Amino acid sequence: VIFFVNLLCLLQIEAKNIPSGAVASPPAAKSLPLRRRIFKSKKLGIKVGCGSIQRKNVAVRSSARPSQAPLPLYASTIDVTRNDLYGSDSTEGMTRVIDALEKACIEISTALARVNIDRRTGDQGDINIQGEKQKKIDVYANELIKRKLFESGVVGAIASEEEDDIVLPSNHSVEKGPIYAVAFDPLDGSSNIDCSVPTGTIFSIYQIPEEQRDSLDSTNNPFLSPVTSIIASGYVMYSSATSLVLSFGKGTHILSLDPDTRKFVLTGANMRVPNRGPYYSLNEGRYFDWPNGLRNYISDVKQGKGTWGKKYSSRYVCSLVADVHRTILYGGWAGNPRPHLRLLFEAAPLSFILDQAGGKGSDGNRPILSYTPDTLHQRLPVFLGSSEDIEELESYGDVQQGKANYEA
């Protein structure tokens, strides 16, 4: 009975969509027999009813201009880029930047799967600008991303967490037309590499003004501008699945690496962070170093005494990309109350992504997206997550911990 009701509904809907006097000519996408189409609709989470056909939250629909078609499920990274930049004069150049980052991250994903086999575990022996020991895989990822970006021919400057200063192209020419600056953390959470905990690559992209392109250096730095000048941001998480989370300022999309084709495909468009979530994520082992406002907040939400009334649980991977990825999907927040995370390489790009998904990034007092970097490696406290959870945390005041160094 259900099958015949759905069949009748589909026929009614198709009849309504045929203009008066037009000849019904089903498009290629609807060439499947109706029975198979109904089955496929159920499989994709499509609700079939006599009034309309609606996808559930798995729907892949773009927030782009009305003249554009919805993004299809399993669209490529390049298709997503072109869709969100539809009509922009930066489409071609940005497509090449994203393609370079995609290829680099796919190679990093492969290298991480072989990190023990290829003996890339352990320290390289050098200390980076952050005062941290560089892992072998850190150096590999950093050099790979730099090379791929400069080979694109449209990147005029990069900034890396592993580099003291900005890096300009030396052996690669930069083409005429729009050029870009890319900031990135090549391998966030790399201290966890040896025990196979999830890690990630974080990046943000800026367009270099025409008048600045021929005079870039440490003093004429394209990255020391308001973080609101970011035009695209993303991260790749390397875990049981490799995920690319990407935003061009028109929503936040999730793509997954297909292990067969070695390409990223769209698996979730216009993701929305829940307004609240029952999880907080930070190193609770530092509880006795926290300021009173943060202690009081954590104590209240754990007991269900917060505004929401639910008892919160702790979820902490100690890999920022992994903690933020879970937060985007399930809500809550992740962060660090001490001035430890980097504005340019972690806080700003992740805040951009969350903002586009309805979430929020804060230092505990003010939005991350209100900052203008003072230095390339500026650090600050960071809280990233559900908008209502972040606002409640801020309301406690005194949630920023002072600077502290820990051995582990």
- pLDDT (tens digit, 9 = 90+) per residue, 111-149? 999 999 998 888 876 777 667 778 899 999 999 999 999
How large is the average pLDDT for residues 52-68?
39
- Residue, of 170 and 338, whose pLDDT is higher: 338
How large is the average pLDDT for residues 332-342?
97
Q: How many CB atoms lie within 10 A of CB 283?
A: 16
| Calpha distance 251→166 (Å, rounded) | 29
Provide the pLDDT for residue 306.
97
- Residue, of 105 and 175, whose pLDDT is higher: 105
- Residue, of 73 and 172, whose pLDDT is higher: 73
Residue 407 has pLDDT above 70, yes or no: no
Provide the pLDDT for residue 6.
58
Provide the pLDDT for residue 20.
36
Please give the angle made by the CA atoms of 369, 144 and 183, to the nearest 5 degrees. 15
Task: Give the pairing type, strands 155-160 and 179-188.
Answer: parallel
Residue 367 has pLDDT above 50, yes or no: yes
Q: Nearest CA to 282 among 337, 321, 347?
A: 337
DSSP 334-398: EEEEEEEEEIIIIIHHHHHHHHHTT-EEESSSSBGGG---SSTT-EEEEEEE-HHHHHHHHHT--
Instruction: Give the three-class secondary structure for 31.
Output: coil
Among 28-37, 202-211, 275-284, 361-370, the least confident range: 28-37
Residue 223 has pLDDT above 80, yes or no: yes
- Residue, of 277 and 7, whose pLDDT is higher: 277
| Calpha distance 353→203 (Å, rounded) | 11
| Calpha distance 168→223 (Å, rounded) | 13
Residue 50 has pLDDT above 70, yes or no: no
Amino acid sitting at position 395: S
Residue 362 has pLDDT above 50, yes or no: yes
How large is the average pLDDT for residues 33-60?
38
Residue 2 has pLDDT above 80, yes or no: no
How large is the average pLDDT for residues 324-347?
98
Q: Bridge partners of 302?
A: none
Q: Bridge partners of 184?
A: 160, 203
Contacts 24+ apart (CB under 8 A), 141-145: 141/104, 141/108, 141/111, 141/186, 141/187, 141/201, 142/186, 142/187, 144/104, 144/107, 144/108, 144/186, 145/101, 145/104, 145/108, 145/184, 145/186, 145/201
Contact 285, 203 (CB under 8 A): no
Percent of the chain at pLDDT above 70?
81
| Calpha distance 102→246 (Å, rounded) | 11
How large is the average pLDDT for residues 4-24?
46
Q: Nearest CA to 197 among 77, 134, 140, 115?
A: 115
Provide the pLDDT for residue 323.
98
Contacts 24+ apart (CB under 8 A), 11-16: 12/50, 13/50, 13/52, 13/53
